[in-house]
Amino acid sequence: MSEHGPEAVAVESVDLGTAAARDRLIEDAEGVLDRNWTGGSTIPSRSLYPHQWSWDAAFIAIGRSWYDQQRAEQELESLFAAQWANGMLPHIVFNPAVPPGAYFPGPEFWDSDRAAGHRKGPATSGITQPPLHALAAREVHRRAQDPVRAHAFLERIYPKLVAQHDYLARWRDPAGHGLAVIVHPWESGMDNAPIWDDDLRLSVPPGGVPPYRRRDLVHADPGDRPTKAAYDRFVYLVVTYRDNGYDDSRLLASSPFLVEDPLFNAIWCASAHALADIAEILGRDPAPHRQRAGRISVGMRQHLWDDRTRRFHARDIRTGGLLRKSMITSLMPLLDPMLPAAYVEAIVADLGSPHFRPAEPGAFLVPSHDLVSPEFDRRRYWRGPVWINTDWLLWRGLDQHAAAAGAAGIAAEIAGSMVRLVRRSGWREYFDPFTGAGYGSADFSWSAALIVDLLRTIATG
């Protein structure tokens, strides 16, 4: 066994509190979601994010599925109402009632009407986010109080989910690896992660970034958010895609950023299995979705696994090289239910190692970036803090590989850590792995939604 093998993991006793304390926490979490409901969807937070975000909506629907079938369905359906004609599901759906300038880049900057594929309807961004939605739709159906209504919901959403997955397969696999590329760090969901730094050293031509005013710094501490240099590059990439009319064929040929990311693809793989389950429920053929999930699974092992580091890494397909910084994305292939035992064991070993497990007693799991790397930053957005959504994804992934030595113990610790974090600091956006201090937005929706899912799942055994 390696020095970081499963035996290195000391499982602390995990105290999720009494049933009454858990019920109070669930009630509080549901209150956050209900206050963030805008009438047709849920905003991630009142301050920083006043529109609907794509993977946030999937997490939120999963939380709501336990107690509000109607809003859980509506959350997903309002998002898919903004799906583009080519199947692309945009990462932001703008609420026309929100004043212009409340979020940057807003609808006028993205100018989604320039895209041939943009349907007349709500203004959106022009890029996508991790495709968790089939998995969310399956959960919403599974917990529904009204099965007839839930079946009708699946019938409506199934073709849209198929179109979303077909878009990724058709337009986002230029290397033919069976994997989807992301074309902007915002598509990864982990925008400011150090793994993108090298790729983002792209040179921005003079005048390439128009003057703009960041709104995030009005609501958040600059020490928690991306730097100006990173933001300029994020904006430059948007300008590049927008000025190419969001044309996928031109985009792949000219994009300065094309990356196969393990988190995005592991989520796609898990969702392709969920889509197959939905097809079975509806009496359709699940085989194409299972085959696609199998291709993604093989693609991740063939193209993103590195025998030397014994980790999955993102691959820059313009240079062909792996981006070897170790980050939480390396652990996400646990979401693949078919991941062979040797890979599961390597990930579990990493989770128990000093890279992802703080040695300080009472610390919190799982930091979003390698603790021993020079880029680790305990408070800056996606460069080290703990996030409830990545914890939840790992908890789910470990649960489906619970037979692996050490997996069940770490899953229980992650669950305990998630609950301790929100008890200590409330429904914050991200948290300090050493102290549990909360950073970013308050009353953040996915933190609340995923604690509802975690506690209710545990309560129902």
- Binding interface with ligand 2M8 (CB under 6 A): 44, 49, 53, 55-56, 91, 186, 189, 191, 216
Polymer length of the chain: 461
Contact 349, 9 (CB under 8 A): no
429 catalytically annotated: yes
Cα angle for residues 279, 33, 227 (degrees, 5° grid) = 95
Question: What is the C-alpha to C-alpha distance for residues 300 and 179, in angstroms, rounded to an integer?
Answer: 7
Nearer to ligand 2M8, 102 or 175 (CB): 102
Measured from the CB atom, the residue of 6 and 44 that comes closer to ligand 2M8 is: 44
Cα→Cα distances 52→150, 332, 392, Å: 23, 24, 21
- Cβ proximity to ligand 2M8, 217 vs 298, nearer residue: 217
Minimum CB distance to ligand 2M8, residue 40 (Å): 17
**List 111, 191, 232, 247, catalytic entry:** 191
DSSP secondary structure, 236-253, as one string = HHHHHHHHTTT-HHHHHH
CB of 373 to ligand 2M8, least distance (A): 20
Between the alpha carbon of residue 219 and those of residues 70, 100, 125, 222, 441, the distances in Å are 32, 16, 21, 9, 8
CA atoms within 13 A on the CB side of 277: 15
Q: Least distance (Å) from ligand 2M8 to the CB of residue 280? A: 30
Bridge partners of residue 37, in order along the sequence: 42
Q: How far is the CB of 123 from ligand 2M8 (least distance, A)?
A: 15
Active site includes 413? no
Cβ proximity to ligand 2M8: between 238 and 293 the closer is 238
* SS3 at position 53: strand
Q: Nearer Cβ to ligand 2M8, position 48 or 168? A: 48
Given the complex with ligand 2M8, which of 56 and 68 has the nearer CB atom?
56
Cβ 446 vs Cβ 49: under 8 Å: no
For the bound state, the minimum distance from the C-beta of residue 203 to ligand 2M8, rounded and expressed in Å, comes to: 23
* Active-site residue, from 429, 432, 443, 453: 429
Nearer to ligand 2M8 (CB atom), residue 34 or residue 191: 191
Residues 6+ apart with CB under 8 A from 334: 266, 344, 347, 394, 397, 398, 400, 401
Closest residue by Cα to residue 266 from 365, 182, 161, 183: 182
- Please state the closest distance from residue 168 (CB atom) to ligand 2M8, in A: 18
Report the SS3 class of residue 5: coil
Q: Minimum distance from CB of 328 to ligand 2M8 (Å)?
A: 12
Contact present, 75 and 61 (Cβ < 8 Å):
yes
Q: Is the peptide bond before 344 cis (omega within 30 degrees of 0)?
A: no
Which residues have a catalytic role annotated?
191, 429
